[in-house]
């Protein structure tokens, strides 16, 4: 029996090493299934909770064009969430169970969404920095070993690129506006920079899942490697806008061709993921309320689907 499992594990690893995808019905180690369910469900929850800070500004967008774009972006995030729940379900845990873990506070979602969106400039900062950091991570995840997750990522990254661009455009406009608007853009950057740097996960040595997830090509790079790429790409964009990244240690190294940067406040990060961030309680309360308010929609959809099912059977 033991030899059989060893052989299966070896075949599984060989497949991964050759760059082949693992599909839902393929044999996989239980820990691979567990790691992926953990990451994919956290990711789905992040998309859903991530609608809240931006949704906060839909009714207050400065004009119709901005409102329509923001509305579409928030809808995209909902779509990403549903897409990812479907992909996670292929590993054997039902959507109901995954949602229950979110609503009871057992599941994690991205730390970044526990910060408040205080001004319109925050909507720019979220698109530019949060979607920007997410793209860095997700283009890597799109090359991952699990078929349904990697395909979901390919599709999601295309939309995230638009999100990133619209955020940059909002901040660029503010940064070239009145003094007050420029200050608003700088203030948003000051508040969102470090949380965005930290959302890419703890640094090497403090990232317990990385070794195993990299062996299985769930992740192909460390959190630090992606963080570096995000910083290298983003700093020149801040320069173009005339905004200052709030890090005095930020300096370009001509030899390595990378920016050196200061130490994030990791204590703050761990407090946020423990549930003690500025908005953790509000996010969970709002999410639960939205789920409860949507009960009648789910009931109606189920009733409609079963009616259709009976109709199809008769026909």
> Which of 147, 152, 144 has its CA nearest to residue 217?
144
Binders of ligand BYC among residues 141 to 170 (CB under 6 A) are: 141
- The residue from 223, 228, 234, 280 that contacts ligand BYC (CB under 6 A) is 223
Report whether 163 contacts 127 (CB < 8 A): yes
- The residue from 137, 145, 166, 234 that contacts ligand BYC (CB under 6 A) is 137
Task: Mark the segment that binds ligand BYC (CB under 6 A) among 6-14, 55-63, 105-113, 298-306.
Answer: 105-113
- The residue from 39, 52, 175, 231 that contacts ligand BYC (CB under 6 A) is 39
Question: What are 260's strand-pairing partners?
Answer: 251
Q: Residue written as tokens 């470090």?
A: 194
- CA dist 129 and 137 (Å) reads 12
Helix (H), strand (E) at residue 216 = none
- CA dist 107 and 101 (Å) reads 5
Binders of ligand BYC among residues 224 to 253 (CB under 6 A) are: none
Total residues contacting ligand BYC by CB under 6 A comes to 28
Task: Mark the segment that binds ligand BYC (CB under 6 A) among 39-47, 169-177, 235-243, 251-259.
Answer: 39-47
- CA dist 215 and 213 (Å) reads 6
In the complex, least distance from residue 27 CB atom to ligand BYC, rounded to whole angstroms: 23
Query: Counting contacts by CB under 6 A, is residue 132 touching ligand BYC?
Result: no
Residue 221 burial (CB count, 10 A):
17
Task: Mark the segment that binds ligand BYC (CB under 6 A) among 26-34, 41-49, 64-72, 172-180.
Answer: 41-49
- CA dist 15 and 216 (Å) reads 10
Choose between 87 and 175: whose C-beta lies nearer to ligand BYC. 87
Query: Counting contacts by CB under 6 A, is residue 42 touching ligand BYC?
Result: yes
Choose between 184 and 196: whose C-beta lies nearer to ligand BYC. 196
Residue 224 burial (CB count, 10 A):
16
In the complex, least distance from residue 156 CB atom to ligand BYC, rounded to whole angstroms: 8
Binders of ligand BYC among residues 57 to 96 (CB under 6 A) are: 77
In the complex, least distance from residue 269 CB atom to ligand BYC, rounded to whole angstroms: 7
- CA dist 63 and 77 (Å) reads 21
In the complex, least distance from residue 106 CB atom to ligand BYC, rounded to whole angstroms: 10
Identify each DSSP E strand in the chain by its residue range: 251-253, 258-260
Residue 145 burial (CB count, 10 A):
23
- CA dist 132 and 166 (Å) reads 11
- CA dist 170 and 54 (Å) reads 13
Binders of ligand BYC among residues 177 to 216 (CB under 6 A) are: 199-202, 207-210, 213
Choose between 166 and 210: whose C-beta lies nearer to ligand BYC. 210
List of residues contacting ligand BYC (CB under 6 A): 38-39, 42-43, 46-47, 50, 77, 108, 110-111, 130-131, 134, 137, 141, 199-202, 207-210, 213, 219, 223, 273
């Amino acid at each position: 029996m033991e030899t059989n499992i060893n052989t299966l594990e070896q075949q599984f690893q060989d497949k991964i090493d050759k760059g082949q995808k693992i599909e839902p019905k393929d044999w996989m180690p239980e820990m691979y299934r567990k790691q992926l369910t953990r990451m994919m469900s956290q990711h789905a929850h992040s998309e859903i909770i991530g609608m809240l800070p931006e949704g906060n500004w839909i009714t207050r967008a400065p004009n119709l064009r901005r409102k329509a774009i923001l509305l579409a972006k928030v809808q995209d995030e909902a779509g990403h969430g549903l897409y990812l729940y479907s992909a996670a379900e292929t590993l054997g845990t039902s959507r109901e169970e995954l949602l229950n873990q979110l609503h009871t506070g057992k599941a994690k979602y991205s730390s970044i969404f526990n910060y408040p969106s205080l001004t319109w400039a925050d909507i720019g900062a979220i698109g530019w920095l949060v979607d920007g950091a997410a793209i860095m991570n997700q283009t890597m995840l799109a090359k991952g070993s699990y078929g349904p997750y990697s395909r979901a990522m390919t599709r999601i990254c295309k939309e995230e690129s638009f999100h990133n661009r619209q955020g940059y455009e909002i901040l660029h406009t503010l940064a070239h506006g009145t003094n007050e608007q420029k200050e608003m853009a700088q203030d948003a950057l000051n508040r969102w920079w470090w949380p965005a740097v930290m959302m890419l996960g703890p640094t090497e040595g403090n990232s317990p899942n990385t070794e195993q997830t990299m062996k299985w090509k769930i992740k192909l790079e460390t959190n630090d490697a992606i963080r570096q790429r995000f910083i290298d790409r983003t700093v020149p964009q801040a320069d173009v806008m005339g905004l200052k990244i709030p890090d005095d240690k930020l300096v370009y190294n001509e030899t390595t061709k990378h920016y050196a940067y200061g130490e994030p406040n990791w204590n703050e990060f761990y407090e946020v993921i423990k549930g003690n961030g500025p908005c953790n309680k509000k996010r969970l309360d709002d999410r639960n309320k939205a789920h409860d308010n949507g009960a009648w929609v789910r009931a109606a959809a189920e009733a409609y689907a079963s009616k259709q099912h009976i109709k199809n059977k008769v026909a």
